[in-house]
Amino acid sequence: MDDNRSLRVLDIVAGTSVDGPGLRTSIYFAGCTHHCPECHNPESWDPSGGRIMSIEEIVNRIEEEDFNVTFSGGDPLFQIEPLIALAKAIKRNGRNIWCYTGYKLEDILANGRLRPILNEIDVIVDGRFEKDRRDVSLKFRGSGNQRIIDLRKSDLPNSICLLD
C-alpha cells in the first residue's frame, strides 16, 4: 500500500442525509484510537479493517455520485497524510467537505501533522462521543460536547464559528 496514495475504507455511502446537510457521499475510514465507550461504530477501530482504495478510486466514486462529501469512520485523521491528498483532490472538483473526528479542534491546531487538513475541509465536527452527554435531539452529532465548526467562517486560531 502506497501510504500517501491510498486509504483503508470501510464503506462509501452515497445519498445519505445524516452526516451533514443535504445529500452527501459519506466515506467511512478504518482506524480509530479514541475507543469512545458506546461508540456506534466500534468495528471501525481496527486499522486493518475495510479495503484499500486509491485516492483516484475514491474521487471517481465521489464524482459518479455527484454529492458533497463527509469523512467519517473510525477517525479519518488516523490516516492523515493520504486523507489530506484526498481532500485536496475533492476540493479541486469543487466539493464541500465535512469531517468527523474525535480530536478537538484545539488539539488539531497544536499538531503540525494534523493541522494541514483544516485548510482542505469546510466543516469539522470535533470531539469524542461521550455517552453521558448523548443527545438524540442534536443534529449531525451524538453528544453535547461535540461541536460543528464552520472552518471557512472561523478566524483560526483566534475564534471559531459554530453552526447550529
Give the max Cα distance, the chain: 41
Pairing relation of β-strands 147-150 and 123-126?
A: antiparallel
Share of the chain above pLDDT 90, in %: 70
Residue with cell 474521487: 59
Q: Supply the pLDDT for residue 35.
A: 67
Amino acid at 7: L
Pairing relation of β-strands 123-126 and 68-73?
A: unpaired
Asked if residues 42 and 1 have their Cβ atoms less than 8 Å apart, the reply is no
The least confident of 1-10, 54-63, 142-151, 153-162 is 1-10
Q: Supply the pLDDT for residue 1.
A: 44
Distance between CA 125 and CA 139 in Å, rounded? 11
Residue 39 has pLDDT above 50, yes or no: yes
Helix, coil or strand: residue 116 = helix
pLDDT digits (tens, 9 = 90+) for 71-80: 998 899 999 9
Between the alpha carbon of residue 164 and those of residues 21, 22, 32, the distances in Å are: 12, 15, 27
Q: Within 13 Å, how many C-alpha atoms sit on residue 92's CB side?
A: 9
Question: Domains plus CATH for the chain?
Answer: 6-150 (3.20.20.70)
Q: Supply the pLDDT for residue 37.
A: 65
Q: Supply the pLDDT for residue 13.
A: 94
pLDDT digits (tens, 9 = 90+) for 118-160: 999 999 999 988 888 888 888 899 888 899 999 999 999 899 9
pLDDT digits (tens, 9 = 90+) for 78-101: 999 999 999 999 999 999 999 999
Please tell me whether the overall predicted TM-score, pTM, comes out greater than 0.75 for this model: yes
Q: Supply the pLDDT for residue 142.
A: 83
Q: Supply the pLDDT for residue 87.
A: 98
Question: 136: which residues sit within 8 A by CB, 6+ positions away?
Answer: none
